[in-house]
Amino acid sequence: MAGNGNREAGMKLLVLAGSSEARQLCERVMDRPGLDIVASLAGLTRAPVPLGVETRIGGFGGRAAYREWLARNRIGAVIDATHPFAHRMARRAAEVSAEFGLPHLKILRPEWRPGPQDRWVMIDHEREAAAHVPPGATVFIATGRRTLEDYANLATEGRWLIVRQIEAPSGTFPFPNGEFQIAHPPFTVEDEIAFFRERGVDWLIVKNAGGTGSWPKLEAARRLGLPVAMIRRPPAPDCATVPDVDGAVAWLDSLMGEGRRGAAREAGA
């Protein structure tokens, strides 16, 4: 773990990490006077990119353990910068913060919207893709390995499934008609077009995560006229949200400003 050097901080901030916004936020505020930051990663990546602040890795162990951890570590505010599809953690964090009366914010990047040339089919779950993808199609599944088992009904009728990973898989592909592809981002639109053509991709499946990192896949599908099964987002947690890191920094500045003004009032009382 790496400390951020603010051990005499006036407020301790928990950043629920796991997205590019979390990295950017930590970089922006790690040296703020009066702020001590601890980031939390779920531990899904074997070698995560260092965030430059104190970082804990692994789940909290449920709601009760999370509440106890917040109290024991004297957390003064929470910024949830997890992936838009980490809905269970996001909901639990928002609810526990409300119970504690903790200032809480969720960075929720805007959803992607289809343009007139896009061929999107909106679905609510991975299992629904099989109803739209025809037999014999080659499918690029860009939703990660964690939900791969949910495509069991897609791995039939001669379809071929391709899943791209940054790290080598710990086991074999779970279905006989599919494969893992190991490659390292970032990928340009041209990279994705070349990949789709080389592998004969007929369909793309993605989650509506928003942002720029995965957009080249969608732009490549648009240019090639490929259909896309787009998985809708789960409901947003019941808490304050901002669309980007700038909004989170402004929220934090306002929060810390209020804290300083409150301390000055108490000193003058």
d(CA 181, CA 52): 30
Query: CA-CA distances (angstroms) from residue 49 to 45, 46, 115, 245?
Result: 9, 10, 33, 18
pLDDT for the residue numbered 266: 55
Confidence of residue 269 (pLDDT cuts 50, 70, 90): low
Q: How many CB atoms lie within 10 A of CB 208?
A: 17
What are the extents of the domains in the chain? Answer: 11-110+235-268, 119-231
Task: List residues bridging with 206 in a β-sheet.
Answer: 230
d(CA 44, CA 82): 12
39 Cβ contact partners less than 8 Å away, ≥ 6 residues apart: 14, 15, 16, 17, 22, 26, 51, 53, 54, 55, 56
pLDDT for the residue numbered 6: 38
What are 155-179's pLDDT values in tens digits? 999 999 999 988 888 889 999 999 9
pLDDT for the residue numbered 117: 96
pTM greater than the 0.85 cutoff = yes
d(CA 117, CA 40): 40
pLDDT for the residue numbered 260: 61
pLDDT for the residue numbered 120: 98
Strand pairing class (119-123; 178-182): unpaired
Longest C-alpha distance within the chain, in Å?
76
- Whether 9 shows a pLDDT value over 80: the answer reads no
User: Looking at residue 111, what DSSP letter applies?
Assistant: P
Burial 98-113, CB ≥16 within 10 A → b, else e: eeeebbbbbbbbeebe
* Closest C-alpha to 181, from 211, 154, 215, 217: 217
Task: List residues bridging with 11 in a β-sheet.
Answer: 35
Query: Position 30: which residue type?
Result: M
Tell me, yes or no, if the two domains 11-110+235-268 and 119-231 fold the same way. Answer: yes
What are 45-100's pLDDT values in tens digits? 766 788 999 999 999 999 999 999 999 999 999 999 999 999 999 999 999 999 99
Q: Answer yes or no: CATH 3.40.50.720 is held by domain 11-110+235-268.
A: yes
Confidence of residue 265 (pLDDT cuts 50, 70, 90): low
Q: Which H or E run includes 15?
A: strand 11-16
3-state SS, residue 120? strand
Average pLDDT across the chain, whole number: 91
Q: How deeply is 62 buried, as exposed, middle or buried, from its count of CB atoms within 10 A (0-12, 13-18, 19+)? A: exposed
d(CA 70, CA 157): 50
CATH topology of domain 119-231: Rossmann fold (3.40.50)
Q: How deeply is 189 buried, as exposed, middle or buried, from its count of CB atoms within 10 A (0-12, 13-18, 19+)? A: middle
